[in-house]
Amino acid sequence: MLDYFQLGGKIAVVTGGASGIGLATAKLLSEVGAKTIILDIDQRKGKEKEETLRAAGLDIEFVKCDVTNSQDCQSVAKLIGEKHGKVDVLFNNAGIIRRKTVVDLDESDWDAVINVSLKGVYLLSKYLIPLMRNYGGGSIINTGSGWGLKGGDKAASYCAAKAGVVNLTKAMAIDHGSENIRVNCICPGDTDTPLLRGEAKQLDIEESSFLRSSAVDRPLARLGTPEDIAKGVLFLASDLSAWVTGTTLTVDGGGLA
């Protein structure tokens, strides 16, 4: 059974890979054998994490990329094509949040959230799918959210973007199934990441109180960890999910139950 989880010889690409869920997933995919390329807009943090993980013996490479920029995404695809010739796993994970209603939200904030969380999935998929298709297929995992499946307070742009990711996933699964490309969506609940902690500041709530309140009503009564989500991504990336496509995996401690 352990062979199903092995990704030896695979090339994996993880966006938003310098912190949080992206970093935990890049680490896990590398631990099971993948050559993992982390993409992030934060060059300093990305290089720092690359050095740390490589010192631990993992096959990690950092490439600076703004997923909202078409030229950046094309350049990444060109670089990976020239160096590796293929992509087997793409984890479209980059995202940001602005905790505001539509009335309070600036247009620039709306655009930023939609561009990073939704347009970024489109752009990187557009340019990396050919590398996947030409090598016989692969697995794409997009990061949605529990708030992509139900509404949430003071997060209008985020809810809209993540709902878009959920349905974009289904459309991509239909379009690319014949190319042996599986496309699935993972929907985390509140997970202890810099993004979640940043929400406390946006809402002007004391951080520890905000984190406690985010966990208290869940059946498992705790926040998720980045590693919790990474394990779900590994399932969707691996051969254990070989007949799974177009679906949504909710990993939220029972928050939507």
Which residues carry out catalysis?
158
E strands within the chain? Answer: 11-15, 35-40, 60-64, 89-92, 138-143, 181-188, 248-251
Cα separation, 248 vs 162, in Å, equals 12
- As to burial, measured by CB atoms within 10 angstroms (0-12 exposed, 13-18 middle, 19+ buried), residue 9 is exposed
DSSP 183: E
Half-sphere exposure of 191 (CA within 13 A, CB side): 25
Phi/psi for 39 (5° steps) reads -110, 135
- Edge-first strand listing for the sheet containing 138-143: 60-64, 35-40, 11-15, 89-92, 138-143, 181-188, 248-251
- Return the closest-CA partner of residue 234 out of 28, 39, 37: 28
Amino acid at 38: I
